[in-house]
Chains A and B, each alone.
Chain A
Amino acid sequence: MNLVKAELRKLFYQRSTYGLILGTIALAILGTAFSPYAMTRIGKGLTMPLSSSDVVDGVYSKSLGGYIFVLIIGVLIMAGEFHHHTAVATFLAQPKRSRVLLAKLGVAAVVGALINVLATWVAIATGAYALSLFKNVAAPHDFIWGNYTAAAAVTGAVLAIVGVAIGTLVRNQNAAVTGSLVWLMVVDRILAVIWTEIGKYLPTGLITAMLNIHLNVKDQGSGLGINTADYLDPVPAALLLLAYGIGFAVLAMFSTLRRDID
């Protein structure tokens, strides 16, 4: 319990944490606020009318869009210790390093889930307002409220866990933050579009799968685009995402966590 309290203090004494929480919410809000406009202007013969419930589900699905900041919170929880050289004090207070890591993972998971759920709800409310500005808008499917909340919690928890693990594996804070940003924002997204067979097993594909939305904006000719029918079912997707989190954490525990602290 001591370690959990210490981790919570570290997190909430830092102003940057609040900035990252606001970032999570802002990015989620941007997604739901603007996607009704984007969906109606997709062009090139691809139409996504808001009169379809599936499309409205898609608008609300943008409410999970802030998870990248949750990943960064996770990265900073561990890499920040090396950046500020507070790892020394941390491991002097608790030399059993795996206990420190477990406390960090636990705090990251709970805080990450809460932040992501909060951002999702705020963004859903924003999306509802944005949609109210359009005419002839279908109601979303009822299942999305529960699904999106659960998906936000799993995504927030897992990405924060993965972040802690990355911060442990790559002690350099800047490299860890930049690396995970590039992966999640660029590589993962490109793979999700151009190489669906692989992309559906990667975080972006799994997160989309958890939302259980039904969209098909795949260009039949080039094979580019997204058809959510290609994705896994929500539950296996959530489990695989969790497995990633645990896998990274175990890897960190048995590799870099054993190295000397200087």
Chain B
Amino acid sequence: MSTIEFIGLTKQYKDLKAVDNLTAKVEAGRITGFLGPNGAGKSTSLRCLLGLATASSGEALIEGKPYHQLAEPLKRVGAVLDSQGFNAALTAKQNLLVICAAAGIDDSRVLPLLELVELGHAVNKRTKGYSLGMKQRLALAAALLGDPDILVLDEPANGLDPIGIAWLREFLRNLANQGKTILVSSHQLAELQHTVDDVIIVNHGKLIAAGNAKEIMAGQSLEEAFLRLIGVAA
């Protein structure tokens, strides 16, 4: 049984197939890059995986179950989604305390995690005053609250500056070394080139390639490999 599995996942919006019969697996204990250009269907696939959107057909499973059937889901899966927000009127700490209460997670997790994502200085600041990068770090802290084994991260590098991106790479590496399974999406193919073990590449909702990153790159950069795979000469 795979940690995460997409089985013929299809999501139709009116006359657009945002995700088109996607079948792919994510192996445990590895970092898998979910890659594709803007509008490729990455976020939509992840929203189906996490039960926020209903698939038109097919399914997306976590340890063999749909998300809504997981008992205590935040203790199994942590997620950062591009559409996610925080209550601007609440401080970072309060925002996380709300999630702790809802998920039955001990409040004592909050402060160490805010330190871990380097927001220790802004714990009691209303998130209204947070920069994009700070919100992204806060979202990472939220994903880690339940100490889950699986992380699903949609464009976690969004809004981070180069230092932040370097920090994120290191951060993800550390989590993977602790044995966590990480599915991380990006439209910037180069960004995660050296971070991911495996890749799932999509374009126009369809799977282009999936498997070991090094094998798929075949000595090229991810970008070159992507262009080769979609048939545009690199």
Contacts and interface: CB of A to CB of B under 8 A. Distances in A.
Among A15, A16, A80, A93, find the residue whose CB has the most chain B CB atoms closer than 10 A. A93
Contacts of A260: 47, 52-54
B86 interface: yes
Contact of B94 (A2, A3, A9, A96): A9
B47 A262 contact: yes
B96 to A, nearest CB: 10
Interface of B: 47, 50-54, 67-68, 70, 73-74, 79, 81, 83-91, 94-95, 97-99, 101-104, 142
A192 B88 CA distance: 39
A50 B88 CA distance: 49
A41 interface: no
Contact of B90 (A13, A92, A94): A13
Interface in A88-123: 88-96
Contacts of B85: 84-86, 88
Interface residues of A, number: 27
Contacts of A10: 87, 98
A14 interface: yes
Interface in A54-109: 80, 84-86, 88-96
A89 B53 contact: no
Among A5, A88, A262, find the residue whose CB has the most chain B CB atoms closer than 10 A. A88
Given A9-B101, A85-B83, A260-B52, A92 B73 contact: yes
A96 B102 CA distance: 12
Contacts of B95: 86
Interface string A237-262: 00000000000000000000010111
A220 to B, nearest CB: 52
A185 interface: no
A252 B104 CA distance: 26
A6 B81 CA distance: 21
B187 to A, nearest CB: 18
B68 A86 contact: no
Contacts of B97: 9, 13
B102 A90 contact: yes
A6 B104 CA distance: 9
A171 to B, nearest CB: 13
B87 to A, nearest CB: 5
Contacts of B47: 260-262
